[in-house]
């Protein structure tokens, strides 16, 4: 354990989401939010006092604003190894980075050219290493303040932090903002054009190019809501285990993702692909019927099976041979507006392999590309109206003791220059009905649109 690090419990208890409110306007703060407290949503993490910022662009990367040498991946791999720092607590992170990898980062990595120019310009990836973390154990309602002594003396840093929290005093509850008067949501597909693109995708499947692919439409949304307000409303009305609020100054990310992409803890790897969605019912009876319909849907099960197979192959590239196993096949999970069908695949990372090797092997996630992955990504680029950008990438943390937890960026709005950008999509197979698939995208957009309305 780092000799300079200090860890202290915050008393009296203040939820991490309320602490995020104190710092929400600060550039480069990151909050990973488990507003849905369950087996998955055990911790919320706030990163403060950045000391190392890595920004990956199409033409290279920067380290604290200066051009980096070699590749971005090599730098991260080497940094994680040279600054290895064991975590002797039960907390998920005491030292490390929080950030994102966009879908376009994965597209570039796979060397798939993009036919469209970006609708919104943000870096391909950002990783920020923080000196200070606030970690909440969500079920136990305990909050830990962690200072690593990098930007200033750890003890002094914690004193200041406690003082800031005391002075902010009881920042609580969701702001009761009125409805946004200038709310407007414009899709980048007309309904019929989206259905035609789906038909073309189904033709590719029937002709044997691919087995399954994910098809996306995107919305440009005008709203008077600030990203911080939208985030607080979203977490209240649509709790999720892998949500977040990240403020990068020129753009902000508001996320309520239900899907884990990759977790590594003590060398054990887990991925939890989602395939299959039903809306929640208006009555208990209808709700139960929709849950059962999803549970028994042969189409959704076959979709999920294809993705599980893909994820097993991806994990096998960096895991100990024979260690990759499907530990849960068709679980139904309930969220505020939808049900999802989910599987869990686990493995053991090979000796000498890092989280960065795993990301390179498995990114972007199979559940939001398709199978085979490379051809599915080519078809996605051909048929979708615009680059995905951040949507279907990953947000999460990498630790200096070799752990990580990354989501799939769905149910997420990216805010820049007065516009929110929201992607929604679904898995397409030979049996897909275009009307149903189109409606499913609107169902998935519902939670974010309501938060911005």
Per-residue pLDDT of 391-438, as tens digits, reads 999 999 999 999 999 999 999 999 999 999 999 999 999 999 999 999
- pLDDT above 90: residue 179: no
pLDDT in the model for residue 39: 82
Across the range 128-157, mean pLDDT stands at: 97
pLDDT, residue 222, reads 96
What does the pLDDT read at residue 135? 98
176 versus 315: which is more confidently predicted? 315
For the record, the structure tokens of 315 come out as 């994990």
Residue whose pair of structure tokens reads 């354990």 in the numeric block: 1
pLDDT confidence band for 40 (50 / 70 / 90): confident
Token pair of 92, please? Answer: 């998920």
Ordered domains of the chain (ranges, CATH): 6-166+183-452 (3.60.120.10)
Query: Per-residue pLDDT for 1 more than 60?
Result: no
pLDDT at position 383, please? 97
So what's the pLDDT on residue 233?
95
Average pLDDT on 143-165 reads 97
Q: Are 135 and 102 in contact (CB under 8 A)?
A: no
pLDDT tier for residue 177 given thresholds of 50, 70 and 90? low
Determine the pLDDT at residue 14: 95
Distance CA 103, CA 439 (A): 24
Question: What does the pLDDT average to over 160-182?
Answer: 74
The continuous run of DSSP H or E covering 126 comes out as strand 125-137
Residue 181 exposure: Cα atoms within 13 Å on the Cβ side = 0
Which pLDDT tens digit goes with each residue over 60-83? Answer: 999 999 999 999 999 999 999 999
Per-residue pLDDT tens over the stretch 83-98: 999 999 999 999 999 9
Band the pLDDT of 171: cuts 50, 70, 90.
low
**Stretch 224-229: mean pLDDT:** 95
Euclidean distance between CA atoms 277 and 352, whole angstroms: 38
Rounded to an integer, the average pLDDT of 233-243 is: 94
Give 366: exposed, middle or buried? Use CB within 10 Å, 0-12, 13-18, 19+.
buried
The tokens describing 268, both together, are 């054990």
Determine the pLDDT at residue 336: 84
pLDDT digit string, tens, across residues 377-404: 999 999 999 999 999 999 999 999 999 9
Write down the pLDDT at residue 168: 85
Looking at the predicted structure, is the pLDDT value of residue 169 above 80? no
The pLDDT > 70 percentage for the chain reads: 97
- Asked whether residue 174 carries a pLDDT value surpassing 90, the answer given is no
pLDDT on residue 441: 95
Q: 182: pLDDT confidence band, cut at 50, 70 and 90?
A: confident
pLDDT at res. 3: 76
Residue 207's pLDDT is what?
Answer: 97
Q: What is the pLDDT of residue 175?
A: 55
Provide the pLDDT for residue 26. 96
Report the pLDDT value the prediction gives residue 284, as an integer from 0 to 100: 96
- Residues with a known catalytic role: 259, 275
**Nearest partner of 91 among 129, 136, 31, judged by Cα:** 136
More confident residue, 233 or 41: 233
Res 176: pLDDT? 57
Place of tokens 């054990």: 268
Distances (CA, A) of 98 to 95, 116, 170, 275, 305: 10, 29, 26, 26, 31
């Amino acid at each position: 354990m780092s000799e300079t690090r200090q860890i202290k419990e915050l008393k009296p208890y203040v939820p991490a989401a309320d602490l995020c409110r104190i710092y929400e306007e600060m550039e480069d703060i990151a909050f990973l939010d488990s507003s849905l407290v369950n087996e998955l949503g055990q911790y919320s993490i706030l990163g403060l006092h950045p000391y190392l910022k890595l920004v990956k662009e199409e033409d290279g990367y920067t380290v604290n604003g200066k051009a980096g040498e070699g590749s971005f991946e090599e730098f991260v791999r080497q940094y994680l190894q040279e600054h290895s720092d064991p975590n002797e607590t039960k907390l998920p992170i005491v030292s490390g980075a929080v950030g994102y990898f966009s879908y376009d980062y994965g597209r570039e990595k796979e060397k798939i050219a993009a036919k469209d120019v970006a609708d919104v310009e943000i870096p391909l990836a950002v990783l920020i290493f923080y000196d200070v973390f606030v970690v909440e154990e969500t079920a136990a309602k305990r909050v830990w303040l962690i200072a690593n002594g990098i930007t200033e003396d750890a003890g002094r840093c914690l004193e200041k932090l406690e003082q800031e929290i005391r002075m902010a005093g009881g920042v609580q509850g969701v702001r009761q903002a009125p409805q946004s008067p200038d709310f407007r949501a414009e899709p980048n597909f007309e309904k019929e054009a989206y259905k035609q693109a789906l038909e073309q995708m189904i033709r590719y499947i029937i002709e044997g190019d691919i087995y399954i692919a994910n098809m996306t439409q995107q919305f440009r949304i005008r709203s008077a809501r600030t990203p911080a307000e939208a985030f607080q409303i979203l977490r209240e009305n649509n709790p999720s285990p892998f949500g977040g609020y990240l403020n990068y100054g020129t753009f902000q990310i508001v996320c309520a993702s239900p899907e884990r992409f990759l977790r590594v803890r003590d060398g054990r790897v887990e991925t939890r692909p989602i395939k299959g969605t039903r809306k929640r019912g208006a009555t208990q009876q209808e709700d139960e019927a929709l849950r059962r319909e999803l549970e028994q849907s042969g189409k959704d099960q076959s979709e999920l099976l294809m993705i599980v197979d893909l994820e097993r192959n991806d994990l096998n590239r960096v895991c100990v041979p024979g260690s990759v196993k499907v530990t849960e096949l068709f679980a139904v999970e309930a969220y505020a507006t939808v049900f999802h069908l989910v599987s869990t695949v686990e493995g053991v990372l090979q000796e000498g392999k890092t989280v960065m090797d795993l990301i390179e092997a498995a990114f972007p996630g199979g559940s939001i590309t398709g199978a085979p992955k490379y051809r599915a990504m080519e078809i996605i680029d051909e048929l979708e109206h615009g680059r995905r950008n951040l949507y279907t990438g990953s947000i999460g943390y990498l630790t200096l003791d070799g752990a990580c937890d990354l989501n799939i960026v769905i149910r997420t709005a990216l805010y820049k220059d007065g516009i929110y950008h929201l992607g929604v999509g679904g898995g397409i197979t030979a049996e897909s009905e275009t009307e149903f698939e189109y409606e499913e995208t609107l169902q998935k957009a519902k939670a974010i649109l309501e938060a911005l309305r």
